[in-house]
């Protein structure tokens, strides 16, 4: 395809619609002799090249409108466009953007609503992942019902529930399974970890928060979990690690 030449850039004083009208007219009846301001080469397939070779003026006019539309879009910050219509004889004609159906820009409230919907979906997905993880934890072999845990301690179920309410025992609640008590919170003497009320005081009232602290590994505990340290009788270091976590949470 011969080199496509660009026409002189319209002055900034001309309106965008006037520039497009001129270019649209040029597409149907471009006059020779217009001065070129530059050129560039576009590689085309042989079939396309044969089709466009006889329509140099049409291609130039089309490129002018394309360039003007890109400039206007960048300046306005809005999506813009035009349409090229080709009749049955192969003659192209540009339809300026003002003749095209307007593409509605999303209203600010619509964008806010879309963002809110995206956030709601993300939160719903996170909650669903949390429910699945909770169900997995609660179904673990080390999770005992109130009756089973009471039997393990050699006390009544009423005593177990009373200690749970005072945060002297760790119990996790699920949607269907009720409260479940980790069996590993009992030391070698058959007593629950006496540091549990202190951990609730430092980490908050959520049993799940205390549970995560106990099962996760901590750098302050040389990479071991808090429950491992408690089983070794090293409750002071566990309290220090909990204090570190609490300081990080409120920093």
CA atoms of 231 and 152, how far apart (whole Å): 17
pLDDT at 114: 63
More confident residue, 146 or 46: 146
pLDDT of 251 > 50? The answer is no
How far apart are the C-alpha atoms of 68 and 66, rounded to whole Å? Answer: 5
The proportion of the chain whose per-residue pLDDT surpasses 90, expressed as a percent, equals 35
Q: Is 9 exposed, middle or buried (0-12, 13-18, 19+ CB in 10 A)?
A: middle
Query: pTM for the whole thing?
Result: 0.49
Phi and psi of 51, rounded to 5°?
-65, -40
Q: Does 9 or 75 have the greater pLDDT score?
A: 75
Average pLDDT over residues 58-65: 76
Whether the predicted pLDDT of 19 surpasses 70: no
Give pLDDT, residue 240: 94
Residue 179 backbone phi and psi in degrees, to 5: -80, 140
Averaged pLDDT of the chain:
75
Average pLDDT over residues 77-101: 70
Q: Kindly report the three-state secondary structure assignment for every residue of the chain.
A: CCCEEECCCCCCCCCHHHHHHHHHHHHHCCCCCCCCCEEECCCCCHHHHHHHCCCHHHHHHHHHHHHHHHHHHHHHCCCCCCEEEECCCCCEEEECHHHCCCCCCCCHHHHHHHHHHHHHHHHHHHHHHHHHHHHHHHCCCCEECHHHHHHHHCCCHHHHHHHHHCCCCCCEEECCCEEEEEHHHECCCCCECCCHHHHHHHHCCCHHHHHHHHHCECHHHCCCEHHHHHHCCCHHHHHHHHHHHHHHHCC
Nearest C-alpha neighbor of 232 from the set 176, 184, 162:
184
Beta pairing class for 83-86 and 38-40: unpaired
Distance CA 32, CA 41 (A): 20
Exposed/middle/buried for 197, CB within 10 Å: 0-12, 13-18, 19+? middle
Instruction: Give the pLDDT mean for 43-56.
Output: 74
pLDDT at residue 16, rounded to an integer: 42
* pLDDT number for residue 21: 44
Q: Which of 74, 78, 87, 83 shows the shortest CA–CA distance to 101?
A: 83
Mean pLDDT over 220-249 rounds to 91
Average pLDDT rounded to a whole number, residues 217-232: 92
- Quickly state the pLDDT bin for 33 (edges 50, 70, 90): very low
Half-sphere exposure of 14 (CA within 13 A, CB side): 14
């Amino acid at each position: 395809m011969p080199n496509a030449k660009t026409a002189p850039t319209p002055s900034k004083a001309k309106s965008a619609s006037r520039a497009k009208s001129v270019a649209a007219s040029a597409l149907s009846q471009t006059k020779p002799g217009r001065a070129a301001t530059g050129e560039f080469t576009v590689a085309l397939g042989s079939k396309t090249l044969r089709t466009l070779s006889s329509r140099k003026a049409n291609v130039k006019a089309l490129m002018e409108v394309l360039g003007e539309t890109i400039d206007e879009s960048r300046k306005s910050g809005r999506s813009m466009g035009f349409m090229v219509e080709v009749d049955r004889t192969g003659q192209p004609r540009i339809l300026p953007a003002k003749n095209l159906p307007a593409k509605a820009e999303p209203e600010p409230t619509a964008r806010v609503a879309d963002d809110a919907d995206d956030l709601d979906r993300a939160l719903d997905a996170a909650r669903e992942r949390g429910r699945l993880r909770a169900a997995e934890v609660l179904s673990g072999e080390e999770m005992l019902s109130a009756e089973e845990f009471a039997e393990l301690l050699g006390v009544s179920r009423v005593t177990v529930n009373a200690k749970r309410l005072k945060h002297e025992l760790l119990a996790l609640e699920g949607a269907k399974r009720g409260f479940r008590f980790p069996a590993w919170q009992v030391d070698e003497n058959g007593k629950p970890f006496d540091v549990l009320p202190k951990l609730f005081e430092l980490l908050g009232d959520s049993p799940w928060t205390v549970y995560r602290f106990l099962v996760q590994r901590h750098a302050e505990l040389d990479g071991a979990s808090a429950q491992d340290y408690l089983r070794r009788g090293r409750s002071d270091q566990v309290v220090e690690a909990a204090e570190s976590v609490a300081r990080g949470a409120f920093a």
